[in-house]
């Protein structure tokens, strides 16, 4: 399932406590590659940008991946924790996701850390030193 519209109803800064929102990449910030209206009318294809997840295709941003500014998280610190690798080290996908997160909330760094920082090396992140708010390669549940 996907969102059919962009989020709305952003709270004011006085309504929102100090907070941290983290997002997964695949099927949260991104939608299924190439799936648009009528099934997922809020999805948006980013031409000429590869997304290697789930068999690959052209990067497709979900409604949240395009803008979460109108949600609770629009006034929070933000980051990514994903089991995937965001299409790899220095990928355009990673750059776009960091840029999108920076448009609202507070992203304190656009550097990546985690087991899949440089190449796909998914594993448990228990005991792994995380040095940035963008984390790739943490096995589900860790």
SS3 107: coil
The DSSP bridge partners found for residue 113 are 135
Do 22 and 78 contact (CB within 8 A), yes or no? yes
Q: How far apart are CA 27 and CA 139, in angstroms?
A: 16
* Tens-place pLDDT, residues 68-82: 988 889 989 999 999
pLDDT score at 6: 56
Q: How far apart are CA 49 and CA 3, in angstroms?
A: 22
Q: Which residues of the chain have pLDDT under 70?
A: 1-17
pLDDT score at 11: 45
pTM: 0.86
């Amino acid at each position: 399932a996907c969102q059919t519209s962009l989020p709305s109803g952003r709270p004011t800064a006085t309504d929102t406590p100090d907070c941290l929102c983290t997002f997964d990449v695949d099927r949260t910030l991104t939608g299924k590659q190439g799936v648009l209206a009528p099934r997922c009318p809020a999805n948006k294809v980013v031409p000429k940008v590869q997304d290697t997840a789930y068999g690959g295709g052209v990067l497709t941003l979900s409604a949240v991946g395009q803008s979460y500014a109108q949600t609770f998280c629009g006034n929070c610190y933000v980051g990514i924790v994903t089991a995937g690798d965001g299409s790899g080290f220095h990928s355009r996908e990673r750059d776009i996701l960091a840029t999108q997160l920076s448009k609202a909330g507070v992203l304190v760094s656009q550097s990546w850390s985690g087991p899949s920082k440089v190449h796909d090396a998914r594993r448990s992140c228990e005991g792994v030193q995380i040095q940035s708010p963008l984390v790739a390669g943490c096995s589900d549940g860790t």
